[in-house]
Structure 1
Amino acid sequence: MKCVFIIVGVGGTGSLLARDIPKLIIKQPHKMVLIDGDTVEEKNMVRQSYQSHDIGENKALALSTKINTFYGNICEAVDKYVTNKEIVELVKSYDGYIPVLIGCVDNDKTRMLLEQTYHDLNDCIYLDSANSEYDGNVYVKAKIQGNETGVLRSEKYNLSQDIHPADKSCEAQVAEGNIQYLVTNLKMATTLLEHISAIVHGSAKEGVTIVKRFETVHY
């Protein structure tokens, strides 16, 4: 099974994940795509996979350039915020690949868009990551040849349409000296990487993975 791993959001969790996926897919037929319309800022140096020379560059472009420099031409970038229709069209351009949609975003509005994308695709594996300061979770649902397993986040609770559901963004709290988000983002990226490793080896683990401080559980 050939997969195209599409990471939507390459900030705190997504950039750390994107940094390590190539180690799982090098010399294999898989591809990866990074999607983000955000620009690298100085404050991103604390907990994201960017360096000072990336400041002012688009995040997806900056990170994909690094990946391709080290691992060959395995990563594409979309340097804007995309619609559901645009992601579906992107997937269609990868004929013969199973899309693995990976949401690493911090708002429910985009999660709703990604869930709609999942519904609009014939085949798809969708991993949705979310975290607070200490805790996080990953929802995994797969639809392959008409068979569906796993769960979407909206099947457990109602998603809001708030652009920023938290009172303060992760970046704002990091700027105030709260570095716990760095630890939690690393744990979330590692959890996603474990799921991706399972997919690469043909055994996707649908369901929910709960990540707590000093604890990780999948059910």
Structure 2
Amino acid sequence: MQMLSFEPIAPFVIGNQSRFHITIVGAGGTGSYIVQTVARLMAHANEKGSPKIDVTLVDGDTIEAKNIGRQLFAPAEIGRNKAQSLATRFNQALGLKIQAIPTMIDQYSLPHVDRYQWHQSAALDKRPYSIVVGAVDNAEARKVIHDGLAKYVFNLWIDSGNHEHGGQVLVGNCVAPHKLKGSFALEGMVQSLPAPSLMAPSLITPPEPLPESQQLDCATAMENNRQSLLINQQMASIVGQYLHQIIFTQRLTTFETIVDMSTLTMRSTPITVSNVAQCLGVTSAFLKGINA
């Protein structure tokens, strides 16, 4: 008789954290719904009295007529900055203090985010646990997030990306493959996971440019019914669940979630040594710190 064996999950843990800073990069299709979800998490934490959550939105884009109904904006907001508009709305509605940086993320705005996090924690012995949520559709912005993780501006990266009828959410904190050696050496837990840019290197590699006639941004794709109307809300819900787990339970058991709206299916990848090894193209022995 053949016995089935199941590989144990090694939860990703962050230790005992009482203060968090969430930077949401991109406040458009998926980003605007992520802001709504995060605002609810902030209100929930405020009601409970802990943990303390600070939020910064980064987006230099302006609300256009084509965004209305597809993104979380109203006709009266046309012409306003997306990040500032969302921050104002949820601050007034829920009594929050979300900050907005009305510029695109780049090497110049990244230090601004870093300084703000230190300012928020000036009265503390240490800075807050910093989570960056990527809701952008270009490799250049993701490369800046990748660099921010490498420079320890952020402690954890949650990246959300989607195409016409599906998408993926990837979670990780380590951008250097060699630093993952031995990450599974301690039985029962792990503190390092590959960053989204290691799991999917194409995220930070600019694609070959399409002919101008074929270029579409997310809003135009949705306007032409080429992108599912509800995909952005679905992706935001998944990002919200990852944030809820990391903030309120301070542990994760999965590091990747794939969604297919055309078949209404969703699959999450458990954090096991073989799953992470397969994702990186390394051996389980490497992750366990065993020298061959």
Q: Same fold (TM over 0.5)?
A: yes
Residue 215 (structure 1) aligns with = 265
1:7 to 6, 12, 24: 24
Aligned pair in 2 of structure 1 residues 103, 122: CA closer, same or farther (>3 Å)? Answer: closer
Paired residue secondary structure (1:77) = strand
Q: 1:3 to 1:210 in 2, by over 3 A?
A: same
Cα deviation, 1:145-176, whole Å, max 9, x if unaligned, reads x9422442344333322598884222112222
- The answer to whether 1:118 aligns with 2:143 is no
Deviating above 4 A after TM superposition, structure 1's stretches of 4 or more consecutive aligned residues are 162-166
Match status 1:54 vs 2:77: yes
8 Å CA contact 1:39–1:55 kept in 2: the answer is yes
Confirm whether residue 93 of structure 1 aligns to residue 119 of structure 2: yes
Counterparts in 2 of 1:17-96, with a 5 A limit?
A: 17-26=34-43, 27=46, 28=50, 29-84=52-107, 85-86=110-111, 87-95=113-121, 96=127
Structure-1 residue corresponding to 2:200:
156
Distance 2:197 2:259 in 1: 15
**Structure 1 match to 2:167:** 136
Identity of aligned residues (%): 24
d(CA) in 2 for partners of 1:90, 1:9 = 18
What amino acid does structure 2 have at the position aligned with 1:185? Answer: N
Is the alpha carbon distance of 1:130 and 1:163 closer, same or farther for their aligned partners in structure 2, counting shifts above 3 Å? farther
Scaled by the length of structure 2, the TM-score of the pair is 0.68
**1:8·1:36 contact (CA, 8 Å) conserved in 2?**
yes
CA RMSD, 1 decimal: 2.3
The answer for unaligned runs of 5 or more in structure 2 is 1-16, 122-126, 175-182, 184-190, 270-292
* Offset of residue 136 of structure 1: 0.5
Number of residue pairs the alignment of both structures matches:
216
CA contact (8 A) 2:63 2:77 kept: yes
Residue deviations 1:108-142, cap 9 Å, x none? 11111111111111661110111001110111013
Kindly state the Cα deviation for residue 25 of structure 1 after the two structures are TM-superposed.
2.0
Which structure has greater strand proportion?
Answer: 1
SS at match of 1:111: helix
After superposition, give the CA deviation of every residue in 1:23-75 in whole Å (9 maximum; x if it has no partner): 22221411111110000111111211111111110000000000100111331
Q: Distance in 2 between matches of 1:118 and 1:206?
A: 20
Structure 1, unpaired ranges of 5+: none
Q: TM-score, normalised by structure 1?
A: 0.89
Q: Which has the larger radius of gyration?
A: 2
Query: Does 2:244 align with 1:197?
Result: yes
Any idea what SS the aligned residue of 1:105 has?
coil
